């Protein structure tokens, strides 16, 4: 379904053989060519991506070393609408709601300045220059990351996500695969490398201590040394947790905004940066939804 709504963008020709082995396997699996030894999660992701004939055309192009022609965010938008939505409506709305909230935070920051985010999530923020700001590009990256970070949930079976109860430790580590799997999907669609890093790290604010040795994490870790990146990652994780608390899931009922905000702000595993950023949600609520119990009901 190519239409005039899609913007021309990526005319870069890439050598298929130079892509990561897993990215090649993903593309080939989307084309119905099973390569011996391909991880079953890659096969499951490919199967879900096959729901869209147009998305499959992207794999054909990549395999032929042809440019993708339209912008990567338009490709991923197609994946969201034609593959993720039929796969899991809950995840689809989760991403849309997070995306709405980041747009509101952006409006607040534009109106009042970065002062609405106390200490920017860092105690050492006093060392930042007065000219420190989040640029148009930074906000755009956050908007993309909120919309696309969970696409690779399609690499695990629907029954895993609908598990009735709390995940145990083993299930939780299995769950985190979907974040890392974005690395290959991102490479396939030639996604901006910072957006890939945000999605890959969205389940761990402290990858140094939380992740097992993992070459994918090493590939994106250089971003982590940039304070601006850590603010963006903190914001993404904050919204992810907040949205999860305020929505109905298979294993729990939703909670109100104030409860969710206070839970996120006390969540030790979320890390200091996420806790410190949590007050920004109070400001969004104050500004856009005074008196409402739910901040982001969009569906
Ligand atoms: Fe996730
Ligand atoms: Fe998420």
Instruction: Inform me whether the pLDDT recorded for 296 exceeds 70.
Output: no
Distance CA 12, CA 15 (A): 10
* 9 vs 80: which has the higher pLDDT: 80
CA of 12 to the centre of ligand 2 (A): 30
CB 35 within 8 A of CB 94: no
Instruction: Inform me whether the pLDDT recorded for 2 exceeds 90.
Output: no
- Determine the average pLDDT of the residues in 182-194: 96
CA of 226 to the centre of ligand 1 (A): 22
CA of 94 to the centre of ligand 2 (A): 7
Distance CA 146, CA 133 (A): 20
CB 221 within 8 A of CB 100: no
Confidence class of residue 1 from pLDDT cuts 50, 70 and 90?
very low
CB atoms within 10 A of CB 155: 25
Among 8-17, 67-76, 237-246, 281-290, name the most confident range: 67-76
CA of 205 to the centre of ligand 1 (A): 13
- Determine the average pLDDT of the residues in 73-99: 95
Distance CA 206, CA 291 (A): 35
Confidence class of residue 227 from pLDDT cuts 50, 70 and 90?
confident
* 94 vs 267: which has the higher pLDDT: 94
- The least confident of 132-136, 162-166, 193-197 is 162-166
Indicate which ligand has the atom closest to the C-alpha of 146. 2
Instruction: Inform me whether the pLDDT recorded for 196 exceeds 70.
Output: yes
| CB burial string 243-275: b at 16+ within 10 A, e below | bbbbbeeeeeeeeebeebbebbbebeebbebbb
| Beta-carbon contacts of residue 62 (< 8 Å; ≥ 6 apart) | 14, 16, 19, 27, 68, 188
Place of tokens 């109106």: 111
DSSP assignment string, the chain: ---TTSPB-------GGGS-HHHHHHHHHHTT-PPTT--HHHHHHHHHHTT-HHHHHHHHHHHTT----B-HHHHHHHHIIIIIHHH-HHHHHHHHHHHHHHHHHHHHHHHH-GGGSGGGG-GGGGGS-TT----HHHHHHHHHHHHHTTGGGGGS-HHHHT-SS---HHHHHHHTHHHHHHHHHHHHTT--HHHHHHHHTTT-S-HHHHSPS-HHHHHHHHHHT-HHHHHHHHHHHHHHHHHHHHS-BTTB----HHHHHHHHHH-GGGHHHHHHHTHHHHHHHHHH-TT-S-S----
CA of 149 to the centre of ligand 2 (A): 6
* Backbone dihedral region for residue 193 (phi beyond 0: left; psi -120 to 50: alpha; all else: beta): alpha
CA of 230 to the centre of ligand 2 (A): 17
Query: What tokens appear for 251 in the block?
Result: 């294993």
- Determine the average pLDDT of the residues in 106-113: 89
Q: Could you give the domains of the chain?
A: 72-288 (1.10.3210)
Instruction: Inform me whether the pLDDT recorded for 243 exceeds 70.
Output: yes
CA of 234 to the centre of ligand 2 (A): 13
CB 247 within 8 A of CB 94: yes
CA of 281 to the centre of ligand 1 (A): 20
pLDDT value at residue 294: 64
User: What's the whole-number average pLDDT of the chain?
Assistant: 85
Share above pLDDT 70 across residues of the chain, in percent, rounded to a whole number: 86
Instruction: Inform me whether the pLDDT recorded for 207 exceeds 70.
Output: no
Segment 31-63, tens digit of pLDDT:
999 888 999 999 999 999 999 999 999 999 999
CA of 250 to the centre of ligand 2 (A): 15
Instruction: Inform me whether the pLDDT recorded for 210 exceeds 50.
Output: no
Instruction: Inform me whether the pLDDT recorded for 70 exceeds 60.
Output: yes
* Backbone dihedral region for residue 113 (phi beyond 0: left; psi -120 to 50: alpha; all else: beta): left
């Amino acid at each position: 379904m190519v239409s005039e709504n899609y913007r021309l963008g990526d005319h870069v020709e890439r050598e298929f053989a130079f892509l990561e082995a897993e990215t090649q396997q993903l593309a080939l699996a989307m084309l119905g060519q099973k390569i011996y030894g391909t991880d079953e999660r890659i096969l499951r992701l490919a199967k879900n991506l096959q729901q869209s004939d147009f998305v499959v055309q992207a794999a054909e192009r990549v395999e032929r070393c042809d440019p993708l022609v339209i912008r990567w965010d338009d490709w991923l938008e197609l994946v969201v609408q034609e593959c993720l939505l039929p796969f899991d409506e809950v995840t689809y709305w989760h991403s849309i709601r997070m995306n709405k909230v980041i747009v509101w935070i952006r409006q607040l920051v534009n109106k009042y300045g970065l002062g609405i985010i106390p200490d920017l999530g860092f105690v050492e923020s006093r060392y930042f220059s007065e000219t420190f700001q989040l640029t148009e590009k930074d906000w755009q990256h956050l908007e993309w990351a909120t919309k696309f970070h969970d696409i690779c949930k399609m690499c695990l079976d629907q029954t895993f996500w609908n598990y009735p109860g709390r995940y145990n430790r083993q299930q939780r580590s299995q769950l985190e695969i979907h974040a890392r799997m974005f690395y290959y999907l991102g490479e396939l669609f030639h996604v901006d490398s910072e957006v890939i890093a945000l999605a890959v790290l969205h389940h761990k604010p402290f990858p140094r201590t939380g992740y097992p040795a993992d070459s994918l994490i090493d590939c994106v870790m250089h971003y982590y040394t940039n304070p601006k990146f850590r603010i963006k990652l903190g914001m993404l994780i904050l919204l992810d947790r907040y949205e999860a608390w305020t929505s109905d899931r298979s294993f729990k009922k939703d909670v109100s905004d104030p409860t969710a905000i206070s839970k996120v702000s006390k969540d030790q595993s979320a890390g200091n940066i996420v806790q410190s950023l949590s007050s920004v949600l109070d400001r969004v609520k104050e500004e856009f939804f005074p008196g409402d119990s739910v901040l982001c009901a969009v569906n």
